[in-house]
Structure 1
Amino acid sequence: MSSKYTAGPTETERCIESLLAVFQRYAGRDGNASSLSKKEFVTFMNTELASFSKNQKDPGVLDRMMKKLDLDCDGQLDFGEFLNLIGGLAQACHVQVMSSPTSGGPKKP
């Protein structure tokens, strides 16, 4: 996924490659490499997003997240549904950073 305009992958391309690699690391453990089962999703959350998972007081939060993310109600999260999770978390982080009194608003690259 390298751009023809740069010597190597751009930062954004590396981020996409990383997301693909993480999804593939957890998907397929149960035989279907194109989606995350509920068990694979819980393993992903407890490993990759452990600070979120471990700090939840409600034991049903991961079940509800899985149900909400599973748009086609097939009991699996495909890559698009997985990206909805990642995008939502990134958006929440962005809002938090922008509302921080020390953020000073958006930074110029």
Structure 2
Amino acid sequence: MPTQLKMAVDTMIRTFHRCSRKEGNRFKLSKGELKLLLQPELTEFLSCQKDPQLVDKIMQDLDTNKDNKVDFNEFVVIVAALTVACNDYFVEQLKKKGK
């Protein structure tokens, strides 16, 4: 039986590749594929943002090698950043409750 962490890693990999194979290079996300991935996966986060250029900015931030694509290593950065932000929020909520 796989552990929760193994399942989380598997889910992250499968989510990336489900979208990356839609256009061109099947191992990288185009801007359109990134948007396809982000919209259903991060609906609440995206809907809270008022910036219509948000996906463009995310793409620009993630694309460290400036090839106009996001490879898996670049994609992991957003997953890690969101995980840290969610943990920080969780810790802050626990502190407010006095736990």
| Equivalent position amino acid for 1:48 in 2 | E
**CA deviation after TM superposition for structure 1 residue 13, in Å:** 0.9
Of 44, 47, 61 in structure 2, the residue corresponding to residue 68 of structure 1 is 61
Higher relative contact order (CA 8 A, sep 6+): 2
Give distance in 1, aligned partners of 2:83 and 2:69: 22
Give distance in 1, aligned partners of 2:32 and 2:68: 10
**CA deviation after TM superposition for structure 1 residue 82, in Å:** 0.5
Q: Is 1:31 aligned to 2:24, yes or no?
A: yes
Deviations 1:5-63 (A, max 9, x none): xxx22211111111111111111100311011000001111111111112211111211
Name the structure 2 match of 1:98: 91
Task: Look at both structures and tell me which one has the larger radius of gyration over its CA atoms.
Answer: 1
Name the structure 1 match of 2:77: 84
| Equivalent position amino acid for 1:60 in 2 | Q
The alignment covers a number of residue pairs equal to 97
Kindly report which structure 2 residues correspond to 1:48-59, keeping only aligned pairs within 5 A, or say none.
Answer: 48-59=41-52
**CA deviation after TM superposition for structure 1 residue 103, in Å:** 6.7
Give distance in 2, aligned partners of 1:23 and 1:92: 20
Give distance in 2, aligned partners of 1:53 and 1:22: 17
The alignment partner of 1:33 has SS state of coil
Question: Which consecutive residues of structure 2, in runs of 5 or more, have no partner in the other structure?
Answer: none
| Equivalent position amino acid for 1:102 in 2 | K
Could you tell me the percent identity over the aligned residues? 30
Provide the TM-score with structure 2 as the length reference: 0.91
Q: Is the 8 A contact 1:97 1:103 kept in 2?
A: no
| Equivalent position amino acid for 1:88 in 2 | A
Give distance in 2, aligned partners of 1:59 and 1:86: 21
Question: Which consecutive residues of structure 1, in runs of 5 or more, have no partner in the other structure?
Answer: 1-7, 105-109
Q: Displaced runs of 4+ in structure 1, greater than 4 A?
A: none
Give the alignment's Cα RMSD to 1 decimal.
1.2
Q: Which has the higher helix share?
A: 2
Provide the TM-score with structure 1 as the length reference: 0.83
